[in-house]
Structure 1
Amino acid sequence: MAARTTVLIVTVFALLAGLSGCGSDSSRQDGDSAPARVRATPDGLTLDGKPWWPVGFNAYQLGTDWSVNVGCGAEVDLDDYFAALPPGALTRFNLYSSFALDKHTGLLNFEPLDRVFEAAGRHEQLVLPVLAGGSGDCEDGRFKERDFYVDGWRSKATPVAPSRDHLTYAKWIETAVSRWRDEPSVVGWELVGEPEPGICGKSCDWQRRVCPADAPAVLRSFFDRAGAHLRSFDDSRPIFSGLVGGDQCGIAGDGYLEVGRSDGIDVLDFHDYSSTTDPDPEPQGSDLSARIDQARRLGKPLVVNEIGVEAGSCLSLETRARRVDAAMSRRREAGAAGALLWSFVPDPRTSECTYDIGPHDPAWDVVRARVSRFEG
């Protein structure tokens, strides 16, 4: 699910040598990288050669630094966050190009994102970077339509200021993966969070978007080509699909199976926002059990990379913690290969009904217990 706070920015990049923070060699294109710690197998994931059932949080705003970028949401004390996690936990976060834009100069500045990896490394934690978001939240605010997945990811870029060059998404893959591929905290990559090749009319609201007949083929081709492009810079770490997993445009029914066959996908996704009574959140045929069955047919693991239960004004934090704990048990028993909670924020809105999980939320105890229970 896209971040609830939409930050509209105009992403402007200068493709010049020696830009601020460019300390690593992003020109290297042979794909050689450090050996992967995580492997995707038909039976699930392994970490350092041992079975691994990842548990942890989504924490999309880790790269926010108001002194440098426009960011998305509140700043996070990175050392406090990673130090509080148990060893072996996983954090999925936004590694968007927007976080690398210096709002003062309009040039690339990698320092806020470098600090995320540095803090994760200091505390021996694991991260799953998401390279872009389908909704446009925390980027330029524009929903990524069909044209983006056809060829826009290679040829087009977000709006530019006069006389400024900027990165295409393909160039951002090269830049980001080449820079951080050897970080020991990186378990893999996610190309796009919740991709849907719909077409906007007068509005991009999901109720009004048009889903073209070729949507599954468009998504499949995107993962084939973008996945191959990513592998030319990191040939060892698995690629996560980022798919919502329900009946969204391009993946409804057997569309999920068609897209999932792509060689550019190693790990399938499902995003679970069940109601408080916990029925299956999607229609039959596009529900979690159907997706797990399809993943087995493909010989790929499926991770529930977002489990969201609202709390605050609508549900006590303690009750929410019990429900997400039970949800993790059910997903594991059903055959899912891991589960992450949506989502950690440093400033939870406790007086509102939200998915926010703050630093002192009892859901942290669930994650700590689960990591210990599933370790190895």
Structure 2
Amino acid sequence: MKTASLVGLLVLVMTMACAAPPESRSQVQPQRATVSGGELHLDGQPWWPTGLNAYQLATDWSVNAGCGAMVDLDEYFGSLPDGAVTRFNVFQQLAVNKFTGTLDFAPIDAVFAAAELHEQMVIPVLVGQDGACEDEQYKDRDWYLDGWEQPTAMPLSYRDWVTTAVERWSDSPVIAAWEPIGEPETAVCGTADCHWQYRTCPADSAEVLREWTDEVGQLIRQRDPGRLITAGLLGGDQCGLVGDGYKLIADSPYVDVLQYHDYDNAGFLPLRLAQTDKPLVVTELGIAAGSCLSLEDRADLIGERIDDYESMGAAGAMLWAFVPDPRPTECTFDIGPEDPIRALPQMARN
């Protein structure tokens, strides 16, 4: 009987160890990116991050359907200055093998491995509002209410993808912050394609977005405690952000870093900065160039804009968007490997 009891006890202990809550894996490792006194820090030092959006890093045509062109990951991360940050897509579609329809994490694993090799920080974006590079379906109000928990054409619901992704990569030291969704809006669609001219915005849209933000943020924090979470807000008058909506989202205990996206001017930025005492990073700054503006002139404008952000109180700036195959004869936001933007002192000030 004593032997049987001992065996049973050992089995129980082993079972409990295997069933340990996910957070036990991440608590042993201090986070590199933190917030202190309303400011970002990296490795304990003040940090005003600059960097690039490189949404297509996990494209691997031998495995997934991709999102843009393939990138030489070692070359890309090796070209960045110390203290830079890269925001990239960690969408479920990029973890689905296009031949088998099953999950295949290799392309995204490769991005994390390259970033870790070169000690470069990243912001993984778990899904996009407009459905680009996934199902091409705009996420409406119903999605934020309960659609995000429902089965999809892909292997996992969004809820299950969040838990799967965070648990898989929570041990990576290069994650600056998790981003649950890029540019969320909680509108009601009036047409099948949800064209913006036919969308409506119910009075409680901000509350719906806040509840979703809290629920998803809790999922992430339970699996990666101590890691920063950033709200991927565009920052204008989008549904859910109008008036004090932005502040309501900013006040969530599951939001550590706010965002603002600037493609025209920084018109809403002073208001958004005034609505929060948390760090606010302009994570998308896009100025078109090529046939419409010389790359050199754009670089000058970008440098001036970044200086303006800092003087206004923003906590960092990132450019939209790096591509390995820029189109210099067209008017685009493309930033190629040799773009003069990348030589700006503002892009290596960390």
How far apart are 1:147 and its partner, in Å? 1.2
2:325 and 2:336 in contact (8 A); partners too: yes
2:84 and 2:348 in contact (8 A); partners too: no
How far apart are 1:91 and its partner, in Å? 0.2
1:167: which partner in 2? Answer: 156
Q: Distance in 1 between matches of 2:130 and 2:42?
A: 31
Matched, 1:271 2:247: no
How far apart are 1:370 and its partner, in Å? 2.4
Q: Distance in 2 between matches of 1:54 and 1:134?
A: 25
How far apart are 1:28 and its partner, in Å? 5.8
1:313: which partner in 2? Answer: 291
Tell me, which stretches of 5 or more residues in structure 2 are unaligned?
Answer: 1-16
Q: 1:313 to 1:27 in 2, by over 3 A?
A: farther
Q: Distance in 1 between matches of 2:215 and 2:173?
A: 26
The partner residue of 1:293 within 274, 277, 285 is: 274
2:96: which partner in 1? Answer: 101
* CA displacement 1:126-184 (0-9 Å, x = unmatched): 11100111110111100111111112222x13236xxxxx2111111111111111111
* CA displacement 1:252-275 (0-9 Å, x = unmatched): 11111112111121111100112x
Q: Which has the higher helix share?
A: 2
Q: Distance in 1 between matches of 2:36 and 2:197?
A: 37
Q: 1:365 to 1:26 in 2, by over 3 A?
A: farther
* Matched residue type, 1:104: F
How far apart are 1:350 and its partner, in Å? 1.2
1:329: which partner in 2? Answer: 307
Please, which moves more after superposition, 229-238 or 41-50?
A: 41-50
Deviating above 4 A after TM superposition, structure 1's stretches of 4 or more consecutive aligned residues are 25-28
2:58 and 2:94 in contact (8 A); partners too: yes
1:11: which partner in 2? Answer: none
Please, which moves more after superposition, 85-94 or 196-205?
A: 196-205
1:180: which partner in 2? Answer: 169
* Matched residue type, 1:94: N
Matched, 1:199 2:192: no
* CA displacement 1:286-323 (0-9 Å, x = unmatched): x1001011112xxx111100000000110000000111
* Matched residue type, 2:179: E
Helix, strand or coil at the partner of 1:92: strand
2:223: which partner in 1? Answer: 233
Equivalences for 1:1-376 in 2 at 5 Å? 29-32=21-24, 33=26, 34-154=29-149, 156-159=150-153, 166-202=155-191, 203-274=193-264, 279-280=265-266, 282=267, 287-296=268-277, 300-366=278-344, 369-373=345-349, 375=350
Q: Which has the higher contact order (CA 8 A, sep 6+)?
A: 1
Helix, strand or coil at the partner of 2:197: coil
* Matched residue type, 1:125: Q
1:211 and 1:249 in contact (8 A); partners too: yes
2:251 and 2:276 in contact (8 A); partners too: no
Q: Distance in 2 between matches of 1:157 and 1:58?
A: 29
1:12: which partner in 2? Answer: none
* Matched residue type, 1:120: A
How far apart are 1:42 and its partner, in Å? 4.1
How far apart are 1:30 and its partner, in Å? 3.5
How far apart are 1:231 and its partner, in Å? 0.8
How far apart are 1:371 and its partner, in Å? 4.8
1:63 and 1:95 in contact (8 A); partners too: yes
Helix, strand or coil at the partner of 2:198: coil
* Matched residue type, 2:182: G
Helix, strand or coil at the partner of 1:320: helix
Q: Distance in 2 between matches of 1:27 and 1:216?
A: 37
> How many equivalent pairs are there?
330
CA RMSD in angstroms comes to 1.6
Q: TM-score, normalised by structure 1?
A: 0.85
Q: Distance in 2 between matches of 1:70 and 1:40?
A: 36
* Matched residue type, 1:184: P
Q: Distance in 1 between matches of 2:185 and 2:21?
A: 29
Q: Distance in 1 between matches of 2:35 and 2:291?
A: 39
How far apart are 1:31 and its partner, in Å? 1.7
Tell me, which stretches of 5 or more residues in structure 1 are unaligned?
Answer: 1-24, 161-165
Q: Distance in 2 between matches of 1:41 and 1:144?
A: 34
2:3: which partner in 1? Answer: none
* Matched residue type, 1:175: T
Q: Distance in 2 between matches of 1:215 and 1:91?
A: 30
